[in-house]
Chains A and B, each alone.
Chain A
Amino acid sequence: MNILKRVLLKKINLKGVATHNIWLKIISLLIAIVVWIYVSGEITKGVRI
């Protein structure tokens, strides 16, 4: 059974997928943003030099 069919048949709880490990997801997102800003800042600095 493919994922779409399982979602339609409510075999996958989308709300559950979104809220499961919510803090881990938020922290990961924050770290991803910080890493991106830091790396892009470093790259830009390198280009200017």
Chain B
Amino acid sequence: MDLIIRFLNWKTISEIIILWAVIYQIFLFLQGTKAAYLLRGIIILLISFLVFQKLGLFVLSWLFTKLFAFFVILMLITLQPELREGLIRLGRGHIFYMEPKKEEIENAIREIVAASGAMARKRIGALIAIRRELSLKNVIESGVTLQADLSGELLQNIFYPSAPLHDGGVVVEGTRLIASACLFPLSENPQLERTLGMRHRAGVGLSENSDALVVIVSEETGSISLAINGQLTRNLSPNDLLTILKGQLTKTA
């Protein structure tokens, strides 16, 4: 009863709201990075600590208290790149970034599919990575930042042979074309066909190292392929590509 009365106090409510906002921002800050998995571990450790204290298991509680400080320092060192990215995001004021609506995502997918179809017909090679949960920061940093609204014409323009940015891949996030001329990691999977060129290997490589979807248009054959989780699906028609991309990208939107 005493607790409920304390809860109804305006000071308590504002304290909880501020705490909630801070915790939510920390979650957003870590979302999309590998640090999110570590955060889950920390939460489990904290819950265990509270349980140990309540049960009166003092030796374990003492050990947790001593190890926790060490763990925090270890975390700061290990997550230095993620923390740096988060702080940059804070500085840029993207805290209140809102995900695009389902219709906007579908429009972006249609633009990608239309551009892929057109480039396949003209035998123009293309490599398009579509970000999902995990950050593609390292890949983006290897290329040229664009931060442009996604359009099929822009994609075709980028990949037009002899255009300055046509080498490498582009990174798409939601409805934005983030960067072009990016270097993707090459796959070392021995099961990949030997006939596959560097573009396909790069597409598969990125899909092995992240959860991104990678659309590859072959310069030699004019075929469209899609790499998901290290698996390459080849010879897709634009309609097939549209169906798969919609299924993969709009199911949670």
Contact = CB atoms under 8 A, between A and B. Distances in A.
Contacts of A27: 27
A32 B98 contact: no
A17 B98 contact: yes
Interface stretch (B12-20, B112-120, B189-197, B218-226): B12-20
Interface string A1-25: 0000000000011001100110011
Contacts of B23: 28, 31-32, 35
Contacts of B72: none
Interface in B9-53: 12, 15-16, 19-20, 23-24, 27-28, 31, 43, 50
B6 interface: yes
Given A32-B23, A40-B6, A21 B28 contact: yes
B3 interface: yes
Contacts of B101: 13, 16
A23 B28 CA distance: 12
Contacts of B12: 36, 40
A40 B3 CA distance: 10
Q: Size band of the B side of the interface?
A: 10 to 19
Contacts, number: 37
Contacts of A20: 98-99
B83 to A, nearest CB: 19
B6 A32 contact: no
Give the interface centre of A12, A13, A35 by most chain B CB atoms within 10 Å. Answer: A35
A24 B27 contact: yes
Nearest to B23: A28
B20 A37 contact: no
B16 A36 contact: yes
B15 A36 contact: yes
Contacts of A17: 98
B24 A25 contact: yes
B48 to A, nearest CB: 14
A5 B205 CA distance: 46
Nearest to A33: B16
Nearest to B47: A34
A36 B16 CA distance: 7
A11 to B, nearest CB: 11
Given A17-B98, A24-B28, A28-B24, 15 more contacts: A12-B98, A24-B31, A25-B24, A27-B27, A29-B20, A31-B23, A32-B23, A35-B19, A35-B23, A36-B12, A36-B16, A36-B19, A37-B3, A38-B50, A40-B12
Interface of B: 3, 6, 12, 15-16, 19-20, 23-24, 27-28, 31, 43, 50, 98-99, 101
